[in-house]
């Protein structure tokens, strides 16, 4: 941990009692700040408040009182999920109070080698693969943190100048990380996500590009080269560009040619040996390979990881095989693009479980993928009628169900030996579940109840 004094004696407001917010509040006390912690909800667990108050932190719950904007805070550390049009946040913006996220605080105290990953899809898998690959050859600590569910600042406290941290960073986190400076930045892809938060696609792209804002030609931006738009986006960085591509050969980075992965013209391994399924995971592997090779990792270490790693939970996760049916949990597929790539990963008939929060869009884009890959569909949630319409257009049998739990026995009734039963909702979970993680866990529990087996 790097010693810094910029928070000594400063008044800091921490907004949000998530894992990152609680860790940030305790860290700020160590850094000499006078800390107030605020959450709009009242925690069900009193231990959270007790622990904060025991550390000398003033705690306010049950509201975001606008009066806090008049207390002269020097800095606000905001939970990334709190929008900037929140009345209290908007008041701080209007008066010019610096607003950062916990990722910025983590960067300020970090004293080692930083690799950061962002993108619309594939962030967590790419982050995990990159960390595993670098760790295979490392003589010092290699950890991961960030949007992957582990506090950046908490991990950064325990790392030294020779250690490496691989961080997954969301657009929400990056908006509040003005000085972050990874030596290696990765952009997996950019689609049109979170426009309810960012308002426009350009705002969303700009937020993603904060990952490379402070990079120089001595740093590296590893970026997907499979779309012209992403190639143009790369031109906005001052870093040395390292492309990765499943579709376009480029000797400047990692790419696929005739079923073989190459790094700058040298063979690494066949794509068929990657244990993770689907073209999206080839792309994730290519991104991780580029970062790993830039970090000095050997091909043997890369092969070891890619031939053994079976996936991150809720991200096209293999659950089990039962009576010659394969069950997969892809609850993290909360948009159309993610479900598109998930379906392309299978060469068996798919029973698709899909639906969720209605964000106002329809699903015609999925019709060609339904025609090619889907044998039958179970639809649920707010948007089930729209999903059903797309299934009907594709000529696929559609059954309605209440949710992702009740859909499991319905899918089983429609399945035959050799089929895949896939939860890949193409929608957020918030109409029925508090998170995609809970939705995926409940799906797995339903599969276990159906089969009498535990996930593998």
Does residue 411 contact residue 400 with C-beta atoms inside 8 Å? Answer: no
122 is in an annotated binding site: yes
Here the tokens at position 109 are 């105290």
170 is in an annotated binding site: no
Write out the H or E segment, with its range, that includes residue 185.
Answer: strand 184-187
Q: Under 8 Å CB-to-CB from 41, ≥6 apart: which residues? A: 17, 61, 62
Q: DSSP per residue over 214-249, as a string?
A: T--TTSEEEEE-SSHHHHHHHTT--SEEEEEESSS-
Does residue 354 contact residue 388 with C-beta atoms inside 8 Å? Answer: no
160 is in an annotated binding site: no
Rounded distance between C-alpha atoms, residue 269 and residue 286, angstroms: 11
Three-state DSSP at 187 gives strand
DSSP-H helix ranges across 9-151: 19-30, 46-54, 87-95, 102-109, 123-137
Does residue 144 contact residue 165 with C-beta atoms inside 8 Å? Answer: yes
Name the residue among 137, 144, 149 with its Cα closest to residue 164.
Answer: 144
123 is in an annotated binding site: yes
Q: What angle do CA 239, 241, 242 make, to 5 degrees?
A: 135
* Helix, strand, coil % in the chain, rounded to nearest 5: 40, 20, 40
38 is in an annotated binding site: no
Question: Residues annotated in the binding site, as ranges?
Answer: 119-125
Question: Residues annotated in the binding site for ATP, as ranges?
Answer: 119-125
């Amino acid at each position: 941990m790097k010693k810094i004094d910029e928070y000594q004696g400063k008044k800091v407001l921490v907004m949000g009692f998530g894992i990152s917010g609680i860790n940030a509040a305790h860290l700020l006390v160590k850094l000499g700040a006078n800390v107030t912690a605020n959450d709009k909800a009242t925690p069900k667990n009193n231990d959270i408040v007790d622990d904060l108050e025991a550390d000398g932190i003033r705690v306010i719950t049950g509201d975001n009182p606008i009066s806090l904007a008049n207390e002269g805070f020097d800095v606000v550390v905001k939970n990334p999920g709190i929008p900037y049009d929140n009345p209290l946040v908007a008041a701080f913006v209007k008066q010019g109070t610096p607003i950062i996220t916990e990722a910025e605080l983590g960067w300020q105290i970090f004293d080692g080698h930083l690799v950061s990953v962002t993108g619309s899809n594939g962030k967590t898998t790419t982050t995990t693969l990159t960390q595993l690959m670098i760790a295979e050859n490392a003589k010092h600590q290699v950890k991961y943190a960030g949007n992957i569910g582990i506090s950046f600042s908490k991990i950064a406290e325990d790392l030294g100048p020779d250690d490496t941290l691989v961080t997954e960073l969301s657009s929400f986190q990056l908006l509040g990380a003005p000085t972050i400076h990874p030596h290696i930045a990765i952009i997996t892809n950019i689609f049109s996500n979170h426009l309810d938060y960012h308002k426009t696609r350009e705002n969303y792209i700009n937020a993603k590009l904060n990952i490379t804002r402070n990079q120089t030609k001595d740093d590296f931006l590893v970026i997907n080269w499979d779309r012209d738009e992403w190639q143009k986006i790369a031109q906005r960085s001052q870093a040395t560009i390292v492309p990765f591509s499943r579709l376009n050969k480029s000797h400047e980075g990692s790419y696929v040619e005739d079923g073989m992965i190459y790094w700058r013209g040298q063979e690494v391994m066949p794509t068929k040996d990657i244990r993770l399924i689907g073209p999206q995971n080839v792309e994730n592997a290519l991104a991780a390979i580029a970062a790993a090779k830039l970090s000095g990792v050997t091909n043997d270490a890369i092969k070891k990881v890619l031939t053994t790693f079976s996936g991150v939970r809720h991200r096209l996760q293999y659950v089990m095989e039962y009576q010659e049916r394969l069950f997969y949990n892809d609850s993290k597929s909360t948009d159309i693009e993610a479900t598109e790539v998930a379906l392309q990963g299978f060469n068996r008939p798919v029973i698709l479980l899909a639906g969720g929060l209605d964000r106002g869009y329809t699903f015609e884009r999925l019709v060609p993928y339904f025609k090619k890959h889907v044998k039958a569909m179970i639809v649920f949630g707010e948007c089930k009628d729209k999903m059903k319409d797309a299934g009907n257009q594709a000529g696929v049998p559609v059954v309605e169900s209440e949710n992702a739990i009740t859909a499991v026995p319905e899918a089983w009734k429609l399945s035959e030996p050799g089929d895949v039963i896939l939860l890949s909702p193409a929608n957020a979970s918030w109409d029925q579940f508090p998170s995609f993680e809970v939705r995926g866990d409940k799906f797995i529990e339903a599969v276990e109840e159906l089969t009498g087996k535990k996930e593998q």
